[in-house]
Amino acid sequence: MKNILRPALVLFIALSIVIGLAYPLAVTGLAQAVFPRQANGSLVVGADGKPVGSELIGQLYADPKNFWGRPSATGDKPYNGLASGGSNLGPLNPALRDAVAERVKALREANPQQQVPVPIDLVTASGSGLDPHISPAAARYQVARVAKARNMPPEALEALIAAHTEQPWLGFLGEARVNVLELNMALNGPPLL
Gap between the Cα atoms of 127 and 158, Å rounded: 28
Amino acid 190: pLDDT: 47
Instruction: Based on the fold, state whether residues 35 and 97 are members of the same structural domain.
Output: no
Name the E strands within the chain: 43-45, 51-54, 133-134, 165-166, 177-179
Amino acid 81: pLDDT: 79
Residue 43 has pLDDT above 90, yes or no: no
Instruction: Based on the fold, state whether residues 34 and 48 are members of the same structural domain.
Output: no
Instruction: Based on the fold, state whether residues 2 and 71 are members of the same structural domain.
Output: no
- The answer to whether 16 and 8 are in contact (CB under 8 A) is no
Instruction: Based on the fold, state whether residues 103 and 32 are members of the same structural domain.
Output: no
With respect to residue 193, please indicate whether it lies within any of the assigned structural domains. Answer: no
Query: 18: domain range?
Result: 1-40
Q: How many domains does the chain have?
A: 2
| DSSP sequence for 139-163 | HHHTHHHHHHHHT--HHHHHHHHHH
Gap between the Cα atoms of 73 and 127, Å rounded: 8
Amino acid 1: pLDDT: 76
125 — phi, psi (to 5°)? -85, 160
134 — phi, psi (to 5°)? -130, 165
With respect to residue 103, please indicate whether it lies within any of the assigned structural domains. Answer: yes
Instruction: Based on the fold, state whether residues 36 and 64 are members of the same structural domain.
Output: no
For residue 134, the SS3 value is strand
Q: Which pLDDT tens digit goes with each residue over 54-70? A: 888 888 888 999 999 99
With respect to residue 90, please indicate whether it lies within any of the assigned structural domains. Answer: yes
**pTM: predicted TM-score of the whole model, two decimal places:** 0.78
Amino acid 179: pLDDT: 93
Residue (of 67, 95, 88, 86) closest to 125 by Cα position: 86
Instruction: Based on the fold, state whether residues 12 and 53 are members of the same structural domain.
Output: no
Q: Is 121 left (phi over 0), alpha (psi -120 to 50) or beta?
A: alpha
